[in-house]
Structure 1
Amino acid sequence: MHVLFLGNGFDLYHGLKTSYKDFLLILQNITEFNNAISRFIDNKNTQDNDSHIFDEIFLDESIEGSSAHKIYELLKDNSWANYYANCNADIQGWIDFENEMLPAIKLMKEVFCKDVRMVWCTEDDWEASISFDSYKERAMMLLWPEFFDERDEYSFLIRNSYFDANYGILKAKIIKKMEDDLDDFITAFTLYLKEFVERRNIEKYKWINDINPNRIISFNYTSTERNYFEKISDSSCSHIHGSTFYKNIVFGTDLIDDDDSDFVNFSKRFQRLFKVGDCSYLDYLTESDDFASITDANHYESLTVSFIGCSLDKNDSSIFRSYIEKADKINVYCYGFSGYKSAMGNLINIFGHDKIRDYLHCNENGVKLNFIDIKNLSINDDTTIICAREYYKDSNK
């Protein structure tokens, strides 16, 4: 049995614009994006000043303006789009991008607990404001103009549509707006992937074709793996975080408590069950036992687990941990020395130094954990397992 895990690095390796930075560029230039696509559709060419947009997305003559315009309409006044376009967070990958949702949620919880100062401007008109001492919180408030307007250096007005003189801050209305905007944000992202990413033709690598897995577990929203493994049925390929095909993309954070009923819709765990509901990947380990039980008594059916483009971050360890622990052989495909170093560090963080040392130790069955550098491979190249000592020496030349 061979189970293959795929992460966003798999799409990036094939030149697909699926990093958070690619979509962030659209968020930060949403009006220019819409205008540039319209010009392209009208003229079938681009202007020089459109290059910063078109360098990041895929265009051909079959692009439909309706999709681009719908993305624009979904994002132009979207509170989450504004937040991510302007938060200037130190984001390294999609997990960081999603987890940056948490500070916004914490801010709203703080807002809901604040004392509101009401000032009657006229007999029929009033202002409701809240104050913050922290510079960080004040900076965060500026990212939510839908709900708040800066009054002075320390206080913000609550927009009238989200405040009632009798009931105070309309907490449920604010959360509902955030939920609706997140749904629109995800819809726009799905359209972006389908229209400007998945239509691109990719070159196929021999070493990937040679893997020949029995089951695939993908953290990706796209179905790039279909270019290689056409014989893998839907029941043998599990998209943990949803897919563009089923329009059930999961976008949230794992850092929200399960008992947080107010913000449960922003929880990745909740969305995974609510939107995807596909837990078939849990059966693959059982199936590996079944494979072994039906083979000849003198033949052991081993379990190989491979990772391509996966960060192996602790946030996703609940998905792959049991596979690594049970596997007879683990192949981690790394993109260069930095990828090797990151994967090694994350695995040690999850399993501990002693267990990873044991995995790297050669026993009667060979080495359990292998790292393979794929950075400089051409289309027809085969892979070579990294020898840590030689690899580290070469990387420091």
Structure 2
Amino acid sequence: MVENILILGNGFDLAMGRKTSYGDFLRFLNSISVQSSNSEEFFDTNIIDGLIQEKKIEKDDYFSKISKNLFLNYIYENKKKLGKKWSSIELVISDIAEAIAFFKKNGIKNAYIENESNYTALIYIKKYLDVFVPGYLQLLAIIGSQEVMDKCNEKCIQALNDLTDYLEFYLTYLDKLDFDSDSDSEQRIVKQDSSLDAIEGLQNAKVLTFNYTDTANRLFGISEENTHFIHGRIDFARDKKSINTMVFGIEDKEDKTENINPDLISYQKFYQRIIKETGSDYRKFFEKPKDSGKSVDDMNIIVFGHSVDPLDKEIFEKCFELAEERGGKYKFIFNYYDEKAKREIVKNLTIILEKERMISLTAEQKVAFVKCDDVQRMKRELL
């Protein structure tokens, strides 16, 4: 017998025809903002109004904060400087969080920032500090730079929470648009052809998803019981007392717990996973049979739509560790969109696992790479 585990990133939703990229999200926010004069061209107002009524929130108040969000303002103000990375929200969050930590450590007035790699974010914080912390110049003499930056940090954390709420709103809107029978959209989402078609009994696979959406459940008939939403999931209709469980943040760059920067912790994914209680249920997917007399099945671990970015390195490290501990044959099959994406995956895997281990794993046929539309290659690689 062979078991299959799917590890899904946002590239999976995109491959299925869904508009779930950060670029799509940012364009949606720009069009829905009260500042936009022709916004109705970009979204279904009936769905928007239905969600607003369901949540019982004041529409104008809810959307008016979009134009004031400091992360969004940073992106739009520096779009040309950011270039192709303009929609990389997680990088933006990281840059701003680190800029705040820099000023807290080095002071505000006399900090030399010209040669810093994070110069754009540092300039942005310094330029708008009086907006984030009104009267900060007077406060400096009373409470000092560190306390002022603590206040700025709280504003940034709230802005991140607001941005996460808007992302949940957008993905909920997209679910209504893509799947609900009441929607008037002509772009109803159906399963698209991909290398995953080579997997027999795909509906019985187990899914570890980094996405907030249940696209695999809807299109492949995979049960929620066999799905772990490692970064939480959308639940816009939840009770007001319940929290948004979506993990939306940055990488913890410190290997040792004692080196974690407390000023950055609220932005980091591991911390959010703890606070939002997303758990580690995916580990159960790798467990040995409880019946000691039963042999261990071979296992395919198929990664689709994820660049294996070091942002999520701890999860991938653990999956390799669990697969090795389980016993039996296992194989990680990384699907890629094109040769550039393949090189990026190889680079990121090498960062996570190191060169020698990567060389050994590929030589032992425990790691393989398949183009995401190559069904025949996938059939040959599957155990």
TM-score range, shorter chain: 0.7 to 0.9
Distance 2:264 2:174 in 1: 31
Aligned to 1:345: 347
Match of 2:372 among 371, 374, 381: 374
When the two chains are superposed, the root-mean-square deviation of aligned CA atoms in Å is 3.6
1:104 aligns with 2:96: yes
Aligned to 1:2: 4
Q: Which amino acid aligns with 2:190?
A: E
Aligned to 1:308: 304
SS in 2 for 1:276: coil
Distance 1:340 1:138 in 2: 31
Following superposition, the deviation at residue 77 of structure 1 comes to 0.9
Aligned to 1:266: 267
CA contact (8 A) 1:307 1:332 kept: yes
Following superposition, the deviation at residue 340 of structure 1 comes to 2.8
Per-residue CA shift, 1:260-292, capped at 9, x if unaligned? 22332112110111113321112322x2x1268
Q: What does 1:72-91 correspond to in 2, within 5 Å?
A: 72-87=63-78, 88-89=81-82
Match of 2:334 among 332, 335, 345: 332
Residues 260/347 of structure 1: CA separation in 2 closer, same or farther (3 Å cut)? closer
- Structure 1: runs of 5 or more not aligned: 41-45, 47-53, 117-128, 150-156, 389-397
Aligned to 2:228: 238
Identical pairs, percent: 21
Residues 110/346 of structure 1: CA separation in 2 closer, same or farther (3 Å cut)? closer
Distance 1:318 1:202 in 2: 32
Per-residue CA shift, 1:160-209, capped at 9, x if unaligned? 16742422343332222111111111111111111135631312146536
Distance 2:330 2:106 in 1: 55
Residues 70/230 of structure 1: CA separation in 2 closer, same or farther (3 Å cut)? farther
Aligned to 2:277: 276
Q: Which amino acid aligns with 2:272?
A: Q
Match of 1:167 among 122, 131, 143: 143
Distance 1:228 1:292 in 2: 33
Count of aligned pairs between the two proteins: 336
**Normalising to structure 1: TM-score of the pair?**
0.71
SS in 1 for 2:5: strand
Match of 1:191 among 148, 169, 178: 169
**Normalising to structure 2: TM-score of the pair?**
0.73
Higher relative contact order (CA 8 A, sep 6+): 2
Q: Which has the higher helix share?
A: 2
Aligned to 1:394: none
Distance 2:137 2:68 in 1: 17
Q: What does 1:206-221 correspond to in 2, within 5 Å?
A: 208=196, 210=199, 211-221=202-212
Aligned to 1:202: 189
CA contact (8 A) 2:231 2:247 kept: yes
Distance 2:310 2:106 in 1: 34
Q: Which amino acid aligns with 2:91?
A: N
Per-residue CA shift, 1:206-261, capped at 9, x if unaligned? 65364344321001122111223434234x21111111137311111114655322
Match of 1:318 among 314, 318, 322: 314
Following superposition, the deviation at residue 351 of structure 1 comes to 3.0
Distance 1:219 1:12 in 2: 13
Q: Which has the larger radius of gyration?
A: 1
